[in-house]
Amino acid sequence: MNLINTEFTLLIVDDEKQNRLLLTELFGTTYKIIQAKNGVQALEKARQHRPDLILLDVLMPEMDGMGVLRELKRDDATRLIPVIFITALDSATDEENGLNLGAVDYISKPFHPPIVRVRVRNQLQLVHQRRLLEQLASLDGLTGIPNRRQFDATLLKEWHRCQRNQQPLSLIVADVDFFKKYNDALGHAAGDRVLQEVAATLRQAARRPGDLVARYGGEEFVLLLPETDATSAQALAEGLQQLLHSKALPHPDSSLGPWLTMSMGGNTIVPSTTALDPEFFALADAALYRAKHQGRNQVRWAN
């Protein structure tokens, strides 16, 4: 796999300027490079930039590389970033200690540039493969949009962010009307295709980078809208219904008319606690139930 000209970022940590320049010259035309000259700066830059790989010297004043690695592993934001030690300590015991702390590789100085280049490339290949697997695990296999697992993780993250910033968080729960009748009339293959159409329509409506559209299960979808008040979220839901109507997807056995429709329920809150309130989703789901009970093909919002 060719990793040249990708967006990978390397953090190079060494108290010796010449060593930092040497490694920057070695990798600067291939990857984005960030430098740190001591342990404290390394931790700050790791948390700020979230590099894909850290090349870390062990022998540094004040906080050595072992101490930096311990701190990286204690922080959820940085504990998964792979670290390669590059150091003059070349005993088997030193190498064992570094690997036991969680370093992924250990390179002794003076190093041979082609060997360092290959070892860095190998670790970035593993990073790339892990991200592909994580991406596949977070997507719905049928529609290609995020699945319930990804929704749950994003909801928790956005809840915390909106709580810190005291911003509104809105949620829409949407359900395809009479989907069982659709499957009974046209078959499950047609049902799969129409769910793909619905997912594409939802993504078309929720276009901001922070918005999340996910398949919650079956014919039920969710839209998570950070920093969106109730008025704006309801307007988006109503616009989404109009967009779906404009697609004129045939439904041969709907009592509402010839086209596929959706019912939607929503809720908006400014989170006041760090713990996710289960009522946030429950109230949106209850609003969806009211929309279906009161005739379907409509939007209802939690009071």
**Judging by beta carbons within 10 Å of its beta carbon (0-12, 13-18, 19+), is residue 139 exposed, middle or buried?**
middle
- Of 1, 8, 24, the closest CA to residue 86 belongs to 24
Residue 219 known to be catalytic? yes
* String of DSSP letters for 45-109: HHHHH--SEEEE-S--SSS-HHHHHHHHHH-TTTTTS-EEEEES--SHHHHHHHHHHT-SEEEES
Residues 6+ apart with CB under 8 A from 85: 56, 57, 58, 65, 69, 98, 103, 105, 106, 107
User: What's the one-letter identity of residue 16?
Assistant: E
Q: What are residue 302's phi and psi, to 5 degrees?
A: -65, 140
DSSP at 277: P
User: Which one of the listed residues 44, 134, 219, 227 is annotated catalytic?
Assistant: 219
Considering Cα of 240, then 246, then 250, then 255, what sign does the dihedral take? positive
| C-alpha torsion 130→133→138→139, nearest 10 | 140
3-state SS string for 11-46: EEECCCHHHHHHHHHHHCCCCEEEEECCHHHHHHHH
Residue 15 tokens, joined: 């108290």
Q: Which residues are catalytic?
A: 219
